[in-house]
Structure 1
């Protein structure tokens, strides 16, 4: 019992924020990764993990039968569910994917702003472990194990200062990375290359057009980015 109490105390002890310059530098680094095509192609799979995790979580919450998740090497993914093909559960499940990375980033921004970096890292590990049970292809298993291994190594071996900086960078990546796929989706739709996208599925499920849902995705992503910035960047700026 004492050992468990010590672990809990260790997890819930707030860590000191990194210097403001380090927070801003981590933001610039994350923005660079998301903006540059090569680095985005390499890292985009992390956003896909959050995207498909959002579908899966909402499917469970709306009591749909979750059959599995597949992650592909081209950074796409699919979440397979079973249940009524229409209705609130199907709508909410389809709605959750594109907003999941941004909302996860916003939650992470709150945790790191309060100094709860260790809790954030271990929550990510728990979510990845739950998702691993649902993966139905080898590439997905390897992707989750690699991501989880990196997070575990950071949480177990890194100093508090390094943990804080990396956690900020990861949160910035989710906030910026939640925006770019929405613009990519719109470009694909203009070229008729995404007829079965989440937005188009939602249009078929409801009376609203697909463009409305793309606007909604973008609104959530933009609001999360602004709110996350307010939470993580101390004001007035002190760069020393």
Structure 2
């Protein structure tokens, strides 16, 4: 156990500054380009539905299961009071979950705890797998977790750090785009049952307010995460750790 603990708490060397900037640009390109976004958007959906599920558990709602669909949509089924703080927090947690997860990952990566980040992500995926209620969701989580495990198990620590940076930047950028897409779809009345519309019915506040709040949280996470991952910040943290 002491060896495992040392591995989890060990500090990895940060990648060079040019690699950090290159990885950030790659992640941004994946999110901005429509084709790559459609292929990778399911990863953001996993974080989105995981946010709903975690908040449901924290607010003592009965979690019935999670479904992930091939069109990159998903649904988290809970049971409990149809109104009240628990339902509001559960509905509000989905769109901000990818950005908050990215911010937590940025903090771990900036402090050199790449192994801890990988372990936490695999643990969350395993817990989520127990809650999946459809075949496509099971396959999606197994493929995602298997790819993460294989890439990090067979790659050297330096490559692990770069892959972790790529994943974190993707979550930070990818947390913003679904909110902008939701705002655009609501203009044409194509999402009457979105999280924002559910929150509007639960609280009396307009759906636009909730979309603005989602976007504010996502942009704040992006700004703080970018600061944590910036080459200058990584260099100063590395000096302090030494």
TM-score between the two structures when normalised by the length of structure 2: 0.95
In the alignment, what sits opposite 1:225?
222
1:134 aligns with 2:154: no
Distance 1:114 1:147 in 2: 25
Distance 1:64 1:10 in 2: 35
Count of paired positions: 235
Q: Which runs of 5+ in 1 are unaligned?
A: none
Distance 2:99 2:206 in 1: 22
Distance 1:85 1:237 in 2: 45
Distance 1:121 1:154 in 2: 11
Contact 2:53 2:90 in 1 (8 A): yes
In the alignment, what sits opposite 1:164?
161
Superposition deviation, residue 10 in structure 1: 1.4
Could you say what the CA RMSD is over the residues aligned between the two structures, in angstroms?
A: 1.1
**Residue deviations 1:76-132, cap 9 Å, x none?**
000000000000000000000000000000000000000000000010000000000
In the alignment, what sits opposite 1:206?
203
In the alignment, what sits opposite 1:190?
187
In the alignment, what sits opposite 2:119?
122
1:96 aligns with 2:97: no
Query: Cα 1:137–1:237, aligned 2, differ >3 Å: closer, same or farther?
Result: closer
In the alignment, what sits opposite 1:29?
26
SS in 2 for 1:208: coil
Q: Which runs of 5+ in 2 are unaligned?
A: 236-242
Superposition deviation, residue 8 in structure 1: 1.1
SS in 2 for 1:78: strand
Moved over 3 A (4+): none
